[in-house]
Copies of this chain bind each other. A is one copy, B any other.
Amino acid sequence: MTRLASCAGVVGITLLASLFAGGSAAAEITPDPLVADQLPAQPGAHWVWVNDVVFHHMADGKAFLLDGDSGRMLGMLSTGFSFNGVVLGKSGAEILSPETYFSRGTRGTRTDVVTFYAPRTLSPVAEVTIPPKRASTIPQLANSRLTDDFRFLLLYNYTPAQSVTVVDVPARKFVGEIETPGCALVYPTGRRAFFSLCGDGAALQVQLDDNGRAASRSRTAQLFDPLTDPVTEKGVRDGNDWLFATFAGNAVRLAPGASGITAATWSLLDEADRRDSWRPGGMQHLALHATTRRLYSLMHVGGADSHKDPGTEVWVYDVAGKKRTQRIVLQEMATSIAVTQDAKPLLFAIFIGAQKVDVYDALSGKFLRSIGEIGFTPTTLVTY
Chain A interface residues toward B at CB < 8 A:
7, 11, 54, 56-60, 78, 80-81, 99, 101, 103-107, 111, 113, 124, 160, 376
Contacts and interface: CB of A to CB of B under 8 A. Distances in A.
Contacts of A78: 59, 105-107
Contact of A56 (B81, B105, B376): B376
B107 A124 contact: yes
Contact of A54 (B7, B57, B81, B111): B57
A57 B79 CA distance: 12
A60 B376 contact: no
A131 to B, nearest CB: 16
Q: How many copies does the complex hold?
A: 2
A60 B105 CA distance: 7
Contact of A103 (B81, B103, B124, B376): B103
A43 B7 CA distance: 46
Contacts of A60: 54, 57-60, 105-106
A6 to B, nearest CB: 12
A111 B109 CA distance: 14
Contacts of A160: 7, 11
B104 A57 contact: no
A103 B101 contact: yes
Contacts of A56: 376
A374 B238 CA distance: 45
B57 A376 contact: yes
Contacts of A7: 160
Nearest to A373: B56
Contacts of A80: 104-105
A300 to B, nearest CB: 27
A156 to B, nearest CB: 18
Nearest to A124: B107
Contacts of A11: 160
A221 B5 CA distance: 32
A9 to B, nearest CB: 12
